[in-house]
Structure 1
Amino acid sequence: MMTLSCDVAIIGAGTAGMAAYRAAQVHTDRLLLIEAAHYGTTCARVGCMPSKLLIAAADAAHGVREAHRFGVRAEAPRIDGVAVMQRVRSERDRFVGFVVDTVHGWPDATRLSGRARFTGTGTLDVGGQRVEARAVVIATGSRPRLPAGWRERLGNRLIVNDDVFDWTDLPASVAVYGAGVIGLELALALHRLGVRVRLFARGPRVGPLSDPALQALAAELFAEELPLTLNAGELDPVRVNDQVLVGGEHFDLLLCAAGREPALDGLGLDTLGLPRDAAGQPQVDRHTGQWGRSAVFMAGDATDDRPLLHEASDSGRIAGDNAARWPDVHHRPRRTPLGIVFSDPQMAVAGASHAELTAAGTAFDTGRVSFADQGRSRVMRVNRGGLHVYAERGTGRLLGAEMIGPAAEHIGHLLAWSVQRGDTVRQMLDFPFYHPVVEEGLRTALRQLHSDLHLPAPPIERCMDCDTTAEAGA
């Protein structure tokens, strides 16, 4: 068989692989995009988009149930599981279709189907086809992590989040193991759609928040609605006929959401002899995508570094650009971290987390606000949660924030932008805050933080409309 030769071979056609292809295409058209399975990103097929479709249906049902709290009388919602899942699958397929159309719009000669394996630093075997590449980008993504023996013991009673979005109807009961982002979002959505659910958290935390006070608040708030078992440790589920016995309860299914791991097996990486960290993961520079000093680059979830779509896209762009430039590798900046959980209440971590600041020994102060009595939040009956903002002592520069509460997906963006710009607390207070909006809670936290930092008092200006004095920027 004739050897295929290219400047850049990209293994994996997900978010990172597609971004790498576009970036490399700026420099060369001698590209090869290799995919072992099907086109369609994790986000579109089994992640961001189908999960938000399920959450949207759950929120609609919850809104009907809660309408009486506003004096609006409505009948209890009747959940049509078949219709719910039909919409989830239909819209999911629409999103996947956009991705597939994009890939098929690229030249046929740049696409190769098959499982790739390194036979040398610049050589690959793809289903018997030899490929020689000047540089290679590994963008193989991740897969759900399963405890040893569970698949053999539980068979088809064990599922992962990938399986949920192929359902044609909702099950009667599901146990969810793992209270991270995926487990929490799915458990709460299924619960609100009438499925009997129990969420088992391996430790004391629910979600990604690291601030101890907000951790405790999150566990308290979710336990008010969702059957929740904290500190469950390593479960020992048992299959009983067509059900699973978990924690003394029987469920139709056990959904394992115990995290994801890079999908790197079968690639022949041991033949490369490249450096790895203490955990055995490839040592990849996140600002170049380069593995060691070689012509092998990595991007996206395969790197086990911030497994989020926008991060995968950024890392794919960096890796693809540098692979095409090889050996002229450029160091590229990365965006301020931003993570959001689409639970209710929502959660967000923007910039540095409490745990990261503490571990780094950073001198910082914290501004706090509770949403319990925040005006607009109370109007909408979403007055649950809290926001903590962190700023550097001495300079007042915003470093990060953690939040559980209303509109976290939006406030999280504002905070991440301010961190990336290097805004100080004083500068943030000088921005406009409309009334009444949830963002006024952020202003409360910033005011407290400004006071605690012992920075010069803000100027006093006269309010021309009401003939009173007010804090500038208030």
Structure 2
Amino acid sequence: MADYDVAIIGAGAAGLSVAAFAAQLGLKVALIERARMGGDCLNHGCVPSKALLAAARRAQQARDAARFGIRLPPPEIDWAAVRAHVRGAIARLAPNDSEARFRALGAEVIRASAHFVAPDTIEAGGRRHTFRRAVVAAGSAPAVPGIPGLAEVPYLTNETLFDLEDPPGHLIIVGGGAVGLEMAQAHVRLGCLVTVIEAAPGIAGREDPELVEGLRQALKAEGVALREGAALRRVEPDEAGGLAAVLEDGSRIAGTHLLLAAGRVPRLAGLDLPAAGIEATRHGIVTDLSLRSVSNRRVWAAGDIADPRGLGPRGFTHVCAQHAAIIARAMLFRLPAKLDYAALPRVTYTDPELAQVGLTEAEAREAGHTALRILRWPLSENDRAVAEGRPEGLVKLVATPKGRLLGASVLGPRAGDMAGMFGLMIGRKLPLSALAGLVLPYPTLAEAAKRAAGEFFVPRLLSPAAKRLAGLLMRLP
């Protein structure tokens, strides 16, 4: 008889969600975690980064207050107090992910490293534990690129950035994706010099270039130095005691701190997956669309470490919750469940935020949608954005000629708050008429989404035939 019904490796967002489901069903659950409960999201990622961004936003609001007739002195940054705010946010949320909570739910929490020793056995804490089902949710780690000279200089990742006792004088960030851009803006608003080095032709390479341009200008206006299309030749110690990044064009950028934000890699090392017959690639554990291992039917994978065939890995906390729901249906209840990312949102939490749900225009065309309707509504035509002095931004919708939404891109304040509306439309295959006809409170930024959807119907409503019909109908008694 197996020791556990479900053994879960990793107490991050994905593992905790699965453990909560299984334990509350009365199953015998082992939750194995070698580091901090809550994983990357609580301790090194979503929570501390958003707390830091919140502090930075307050500083920028103080600088911008004069535009609204409010005169304030330049903000003084108390770095110790900023750090206390970040730690306080983590501490306030930590009980939700704690050992005590999951033990109270009925799970056994094992604080140890874990690895497979057989297709149905995990070794952890000096003991072997057999299982009926297992879920690998070990997450991912910051990628450390093979930059010449990196061994000669200290560097930061998101796992060490929030431990700095003093603010960076000049933070050099390698990587212009979401993490790099968020931390660039946060630190420049908190009084640091910041340079972002991106090897690709442009920052935020996955996103719609039309909206990225607006974000680029916003970051530059606040003082973030962007070096795009810049190949990094090497890093080296600097005479002033810091470090320097040397680019292929020969330019040299001296700084005090180096942050690596060049992606993430799954935490496969140490799991000994071959001992359990679990197939994996460098992208993660290979699964089908129910997140079940293709080579060991006892095992599922969830979160960043899962590599579903045909979809690939996705490194977002909300994907972890989606994975847990799929596994609950497929593993716990034996119901048909398949992963679908058609309505998956992603947000870069800069200011303005850049949100994407579904396909960008380029992705839609690559997917074979040759006939598209592209619908736009600028925030300069949104009353709330104008009233708040934030008219820069855009809602861009990608739809089929018949009015089915394929994707939505939004650049603007709190753009991520619109993502749920678009996700519901795409996920439920609602027509654009549903959004165009929605009654929204006035004035809100979401009205820009409604107006963009309404643009789909304008050519028909204002066509010559429609005008003739309206004229004829007006003659009726």
Q: TM-score, normalised by structure 2?
A: 0.87
The 1:374/1:255 distance shift into structure 2, 3 A limit, reads same
Paired residue for 1:294, among 297, 301, 325? 297
Query: 2:201 — aligned with what?
Result: 204
After TM superposition, list the pairs within 5 Å mapping 1:255-266 onto structure 2.
255-266=259-270
Query: 2:168 — aligned with what?
Result: 171
After TM superposition, give the deviation of residue 353 of structure 1 in Å. 2.8
Paired residue for 1:130, among 120, 128, 131? 128
* Percent identity of equivalent pairs: 28
Q: Does 1:268 align with 2:276?
A: no
After TM superposition, list the pairs within 5 Å mapping 1:14-33 onto structure 2.
14-33=12-31
Residues 385-419 of structure 1: CA deviation (Å, up to 9, x unaligned): 222101112x2111211121223122222222222
Residues 198-254 of structure 1: CA deviation (Å, up to 9, x unaligned): 111221332365323223343333223221111123452112263110242221110
Q: Does 1:355 align with 2:362?
A: yes
Query: 1:316 — aligned with what?
Result: 324
Query: 2:306 — aligned with what?
Result: 303
One-letter amino acid of the structure 2 residue matched with residue 267 of structure 1: L
After TM superposition, give the deviation of residue 268 of structure 1 in Å. 0.9
Report the Cα distance in structure 1 between the residues aligned to 2:226 and 2:232, rounded to whole angstroms: 15
Q: Does 1:12 align with 2:22?
A: no
Q: Is the 8 A contact 2:147 2:234 kept in 1?
A: no
**Structure 1: gaps (5+ residues):** 461-468, 470-474
Report the Cα distance in structure 2 between the residues aligned to 1:459 and 1:48, rounded to whole angstroms: 51
After TM superposition, give the deviation of residue 440 of structure 1 in Å. 3.0
Query: 2:337 — aligned with what?
Result: 331
Residues 330-387 of structure 1: CA deviation (Å, up to 9, x unaligned): 3246572111221011110012333331221023211012224533212212111222
The 1:407/1:458 distance shift into structure 2, 3 A limit, reads farther
After TM superposition, list the pairs within 5 Å mapping 1:3-402 onto structure 2.
5-100=3-98, 101-107=100-106, 110-148=108-146, 153-155=151-153, 157-207=154-204, 209-225=206-222, 226-240=224-238, 242-247=241-246, 248-276=252-280, 281-292=284-295, 294-303=297-306, 305-320=313-328, 322-324=330-332, 328=334, 330-332=336-338, 334=340, 336-362=343-369, 363-393=371-401, 395-402=402-409
**RMSD, matched Cα:** 2.8
Bigger Cα displacement from structure 2, 94-103 vs 297-306? 94-103
Q: How many residues are treated as equivalent by the alignment?
A: 453
Report the Cα distance in structure 2 between the residues aligned to 1:71 and 1:302, rounded to whole angstroms: 51
Q: Does 1:442 align with 2:449?
A: yes
Report the Cα distance in structure 1 between the residues aligned to 2:351 and 2:466, rounded to whole angstroms: 38
Bigger Cα displacement from structure 2, 348-357 vs 130-139? 348-357
Q: Is the 8 A contact 2:51 2:86 kept in 1?
A: yes
One-letter amino acid of the structure 2 residue matched with residue 142 of structure 1: S
Bigger Cα displacement from structure 2, 157-166 vs 96-105? 96-105
The 1:453/1:249 distance shift into structure 2, 3 A limit, reads farther
Bigger Cα displacement from structure 2, 51-60 vs 168-177? 168-177
- For the residue of structure 1 that corresponds to 2:31, the secondary structure is strand
The 1:204/1:102 distance shift into structure 2, 3 A limit, reads farther
Query: 2:249 — aligned with what?
Result: none
Q: Is the 8 A contact 1:338 1:412 kept in 2?
A: yes
**Structure 2: gaps (5+ residues):** 247-251, 308-312, 468-473
- For the residue of structure 2 that corresponds to 1:236, the secondary structure is strand
Structure with more relative contact order (C-alpha pairs < 8 Å, separation 6 or more): 1
Report the Cα distance in structure 2 between the residues aligned to 1:292 and 1:354, rounded to whole angstroms: 36
Report the Cα distance in structure 1 between the residues aligned to 2:86 and 2:178, rounded to whole angstroms: 19
Report the Cα distance in structure 2 between the residues aligned to 1:459 and 1:376, rounded to whole angstroms: 32
